[in-house]
Amino acid sequence: MSLKVIHVFFILVSTLMCVGIAAFRLDAWRHLGDASALVQGLIATIGAVLLVGYLVHFIRKYRGLGYQ
């Protein structure tokens, strides 16, 4: 398995974690009305968006690099 594949895998796992945390914290904000839950949910959402952008950038930059 190449370093490229491992890197893409960990970016995807990190993105999924951010999405999960965002959903969990925004749901907590909706039910409890806690402002800190809203802030944490928004930060996790921003992190997920940034990770997706980084993944797209990484794939475009290293497109020619093989998966070996």
Query: pLDDT tens-digit profile of 10-60?
Result: 999 999 999 999 999 999 999 999 999 999 999 999 999 999 999 999 989
- Give me the pLDDT at residue 67, please: 61
Cα separation, 51 vs 10, whole angstroms: 10
Number of C-beta neighbours around residue 27 at 10 A: 12
pLDDT score at 62: 84
Q: Which residues contact 31 (CB under 8 A, 6 or more apart)?
A: none
**pLDDT-based confidence at 65, cuts 50/70/90?**
confident
The helices-and-strands tally (H runs, E runs) of the chain is 2, 0
pLDDT value, residue 55: 95
- pLDDT for residue 66: 65
| Residue count of the chain | 68
